[in-house]
Amino acid sequence: MPFYKPDLTITVVDPHRPGHELTYYPGETNVRLADVVVVNKVDSASKENVETVVRNVASVNPRALIIRAASPIVVDNPELIRGKRVLVVEDGPTLTHGGMSFGAGTLAAHQFGAKEIIDPRPYAVNSISEVYTKYPGTGVLLPAMGYGSRQIRDLETTINQVPADAVIIGTPVDLRRIIRINKPSVRVQYSLEEKSKPDLTDVLNDFLRRFPVRRRKGR
């Protein structure tokens, strides 16, 4: 007989982009197949958007357990933000074609009391300048574009030319690992605080009780 391995599918949806859970692939497929759907960022998204996403999930997957969760912002050196003129670098695809006008870096700038967000557009070079031309809606934020060595080099030059006191890095990857930044910088990350019961711990414990992990012989 073939070995049968039960699974538990968990999907995360973003109420800052209500409707995307029904209109984007593979997100919609993930929602339809999920056993558990985590609606995160309920602390920063509007109540209306949260409820819209919850209704949408329930409409296409009524069997899924919906968990509401906050996503508080965490930065490594918040003292570098307060009262400072900052450059905010956000995830590139989020700003360009992801349907968002801001990201974690912007939230951190406001939460930790930045004096001003510096407009990087006058200092953009080459391929980064081209991104602003193609996606004018990015505003005073710098989309981190790194599709190849040329864009990475242009991103580094642009960041280093902006006359900011500090750089707020709101990208999934820590840019300091791939480019050299000539001014103080902070990395923004999210943590997870579940706001409803059962939570992920309850769900996983129940799954493991029903389907205990068995060690193979010889291990």
Do 83 and 174 fall into the same domain? yes
Residue 5 lies in a domain: no
Structure tokens at 143: 């989309």
Q: Are residues 36 and 114 in the same domain?
A: no
| Alpha-carbon gap, residue 68 to 73, rounded angstroms | 16
Query: What is the number of structural domains in the chain?
Result: 2
> Is 199 within the bounds of a domain?
yes
pLDDT tens-digit readout, 44-80: 999 999 999 999 999 999 999 999 999 999 998 999 9
Q: Are residues 186 and 79 both part of a single domain?
A: yes
User: CA-CA distances (angstroms) from residue 103 to 122, 170, 172, 173?
Assistant: 21, 7, 11, 14
Please indicate, yes or no, whether residues 78 and 137 belong to a single structural domain of this protein. Answer: yes
Residue keyed to tokens 């968002």 = 100
Q: pTM, whole model, 2 decimals?
A: 0.82
Residue 152 exposed, middle or buried by CB count within 10 Å (0-12, 13-18, 19+): middle
pLDDT digits (tens, 9 = 90+) for 126-172: 999 999 999 988 889 999 987 889 999 999 999 999 999 999 999 99
Give the H or E element holding residue 92. Answer: helix 92-96
| Residue 60, in any domain of the structure | yes
| DSSP conformational letter for 3 | P
In angstroms and rounded to an integer, the radius of gyration of the C-alpha atoms of the chain is 21
DSSP assignment of 194-214 equals E-SSS-HHHHHHHHHHHS---
Residue 176 in any domain: the answer is: yes
Among positive and negative, which fits the CA dihedral 176, 94, 164, 113?
negative
- pLDDT of 1 above 60: no
CATH of the domain at 198: 3.40.50.300
